[in-house]
Structure 1
């Protein structure tokens, strides 16, 4: 492959994961109306409450839980809390001392209650939990780079959880994820440095990580538990389980886990600027259940990791913005000093337009006079490219790091001009500035062939994930390093300055 495709599958992104209408089997799910009557449930609740599912519908939750627990739920409803709230519940079954962790999701028209049976000796003191988190968060807080944060995070999360393997991958602008840190049992395949296509974590799955900080699958071989009734009587539709931990898993993902040779997994989000920046993925060779307490610690650490990475990236972003803005001021001063746009942008080799925009070549055309600097296409190619750009009638900055994919002729000179930044100065007079970036050949090590991420059967009715994650190398040609946001912002600022300067010169 020579082109860099976008593997964010429209098909994968359209699978209704939030309306999967079944749960995993490590817990129970109840749906109550605002009067606390049961209107929907996972079918395994029948065994818990020793009644048929149909006989439990329209029964009040007060008939099954202790008075003090009912009071807790009623108090939360009176406070108008809309977030997910954990509390402990005990059912009124005879000779039953089982304690359940209940997670209440209070919606506008109904309440979802997720129930997980508490394991013996699972409740540790707050001091023990806090000490554990304090140690990890302190280590992360002392990190100086994003890579150091990632390395510390996966090491501590693996030690804390006991998973056979933990890795972190970062999403690129096309939502492909590259593994940037990894710590694993020797029996698990290594993926450090490999890139996984965007379809592995499709669009709607990424959106759900903005609602839910983690996703736990204790056993890929679980038997899905259906909901009864199938249709939620309040909404007259499948119920939205987006923020439920017990939400079942798409078959294609379970097959994906099988192909990776893991039986349990857990994913934890990393957020930057309210966007999904990356995921921490935990794998285990055998089934592995993680209790709510440890899941809550992971949720907390997700915030700690996200905050630290955001702090480091924001500092870098501020420093980069300040540096390029300073260069832009110096270049503007130089234009004033020469009283000439071309001389001001081109003459000083230590302080010119190439240094400002990290370009390898430039062409400027002012008052019908053109001049070039650095590596540029030949005269005929520049003429044809200019004609193509003029046909677009651009009045703002235009950029691409893959010119050949937009203008076929550019493939002939991609070594000098794979990237283009076009700055119109005065459309009426045909004045413009054009900057180029040379080709940056890129090798991508994919975790399996991304073209085989989803494979349909011959009849088109069933689909399967790729069955190999062996390194699949792609070399990308005819692309340049992308223009970053600071370069584009300063280019637009420079466009305004050059337009005003040119107008003043014409009035002299």
Structure 2
């Protein structure tokens, strides 16, 4: 079967609303009043004698045709129980019977409706999966080596479910997949090591694998059953089967499986950091059916393996993190000890190249170019810098396919297919460049990865799944090994340390002349004056708006508009106040005293809990040593950091923050960690810039000034601040206070 479409069909196909289900069971969708709005056409095959016009009837009308031992109105009771618990996990599956045969009733939510799916409670598994699960998991986890863990998993899953082929299928960064482990029948050709294009499992399919951790296709050769509804419902809202167990399969995918000779498939999702890492993909060359309870047990295997993968990966990341932290700490100390920042960064024992796993690095600083390790020639580097000046606008840029974005780099791709750029000063053309060599990869695709296209009788192009899955070799050049997250974080941290070192040595090596100093002071005063003068007209606008609101003859729409004006004026006032505060810090004289931080933190937490209505906030306070500084300014620092930690953790549902400090030789480093929404790694270098707000917090109240104020206060105290964060995993802010 083919579909009339363009080449993006696989990514656009609405597979969550196919309008039909697999035929091994039947489906009914009811509203909150238990009125039937949809049902599958095959319902009468399972429940003979049903009324012909089920749509619009109460679901209680079908209960007499179901299990003889069920109490009256039992479906409504199940729905009420699930609604009150906000989940149907406790009732799924519900055991019933039809015509004396055991069936499972599985309930899920579909927008305002409830999906009632009935499927046989009889599996063709030869083993009791629930009894085998403990031993299976134990044998899976017997080896700590990741490759052996995956190999054990494939073998154990095949052993208990008996499918002809079981594969561990991993998604790459570009979403194509690779079979990285396999257990199969002896008579089958191996697929281990084969790659599959991203279009084989398109984006919307991957999203469904995250919503449903198991997926069964019982028989590719059976006909699906259509879902029927009243015209009003079918026109206005196609039935969303995202959480359906019986959801029909895309015709493109069915043809794809047929072309592979596969009659039945079963998959278990593997999740890492809430994203789809891969699948345990099971193929059988004859039809197979696994009942819901067995599938649910199999889901546990996937969850255990997902946790093991996450643990192994986090363990590896921690090793990288500690390694790079030690390197950056050493570079920081060397910069502060050495008279020359440049010399400190290029020492043979520890230098900028070691801050990543690069093969070479180039430091462009104070009109000097210094190369370390294996790099392009000086002429090529100058050419590359010219390209960077025009094309790189962010503080941190990286790519593992430089020749694809800068054609001239093809000449030196063997040493620099990967590039990371840290901008120290765009105005002074000061950068650090890291290079990774070309990693030539020979990829064995399962057939030609280009999506085949056929011409229909009407002349339109149609996608047709490929027929051949014979290994199709492709050599990929011009790419390096990717830059991993810990390398990116390491370079972002190095930027903070270099900036701090430059600022510390500014008095000795970058003396500002009187004209620049005067210009800065005038600009600071100008900022203060303009911000201050803006407040008067805003007060007038607010006053007039409030006077108009009190007019009794105004329409409600007009009142709403005036209320919005009031709100925007308040927002503007808040921003002006913060700009005034930012400007004021530059003019204040610092009078450091001993500041007891513990009491200050306790007071802020108490106020912020009340202000954010966050009584459920969990606070963990560790070491809180006293520091030297201006009490008012230090209070602002902790107020801002704690406020952000709480504010951006509340949307996660169970906000928790951690406060601790480490007393080092010459500084005290405070750590404030949260479990909030986190920051995209690409935006970490922008965090402390004025009026910069991250993309994922635009709907959360804020001005983008608070962290800029914090940074200015810390710098005034000759300290430093940096951040480590993972999107969706929370943020950790580090504040280093100099000992006086």
Give distance in 2, aligned partners of 1:39 and 1:327: 64
TM-score (norm 2): 0.63
1:164-175 matches, within 5 Å, as 164-175=164-175
- 1:70-469 equivalent positions in 2, closer than 5 A: 70-79=72-81, 80=83, 81-84=85-88, 85-91=92-98, 96-119=99-122, 130-229=130-229, 233=233, 236-348=236-348, 350-392=349-391, 394-451=393-450, 453-458=451-456, 459-469=459-469
Q: How many residues align?
A: 491
Once the two structures are superposed, residues 445-480 of structure 1 have per-residue CA deviations (whole angstroms, 9 ceiling, x without a partner) of 1111111x3424353353211111111111111111
- With 488-497 and 369-378 compared, the bigger mean Cα shift is at 369-378
Q: Give the alignment's Cα RMSD to 1 decimal.
A: 2.3
Moved more, 225-234 or 9-18: 225-234
Does the 8 Å contact 1:140/1:308 carry over to 2? Answer: no
CA contact under 8 A between 2:125 and 2:162: conserved in structure 1?
A: no
The structure-2 alpha-carbon separation of the partners of 1:209 and 1:134, relative to structure 1 and needing over 3 Å to count, comes to same
| RCO comparison, higher one (Cα < 8 Å, 6+) | 1
| 427 and 219 in structure 1: CA distance in 2 versus 1, 3 angstrom threshold | same
**Is the helix fraction higher in 1 or 2?**
2
In 2, distance between residues paired with 1:332 and 1:132? 55
2:34 match: 36
Q: CA deviation at 1:52?
A: 6.6
For residues 124 and 489 of structure 2, the distance between their equivalents in structure 1, rounded to whole angstroms, comes to 57
Structure 2 contact 110–239 (Cα < 8 Å) conserved: no
Aligned equivalents of 1:364, 1:232: Cα separation in 2: 67
> Are 2:37 and 2:230, in contact at CA under 8 Å, matched by a contact in 1?
no
Looking at structure 2, the residues matched to 362 and 342 of structure 1 have their Cα atoms a distance apart, in angstroms, of 13
CA distance in 2, matches of 1:498, 1:371: 16
- Secondary structure of 1:440's aligned partner: coil
* Post-superposition offset of 1:380: 2.2
Structure number with larger C-alpha Rg? 2
Query: Which digits, 9 at most, give the CA deviation of each residue in 1:366-423, with x for residues without a partner?
Result: 2212222222222322222111111236351111111111111111111222111111
Q: Which moved more, 1:364-373 or 1:488-497?
A: 364-373
For structure 1, the 5+ residue unaligned runs are 1-8
Change in Cα spacing, 1:367 to 1:405, as seen in structure 2 (3 Å) is same
What is aligned with 1:5? none
Distance change (3 Å), C-alpha of 1:494 and 1:121: closer
Task: Decide whether the 8 Å contact of 2:140 with 2:156 is kept in 1.
Answer: no
- SS of 2:464's equivalent in the other structure is strand
* Cα contact 2:355–2:491 (8 A) shared by 1: no
Could you tell me how far apart the structure 1 residues matched to 2:463 and 2:124 are? 43
Residues 55 and 230 in structure 2, CA contact (< 8 A), matched pair in contact too: no
Paired residue for 1:500?
Answer: 500
- Do the aligned partners of 1:53 and 1:228 also contact (CA within 8 Å) in 2? no
The worse-fitting range, judged by mean Cα deviation, of 53-62 and 477-486 is 53-62
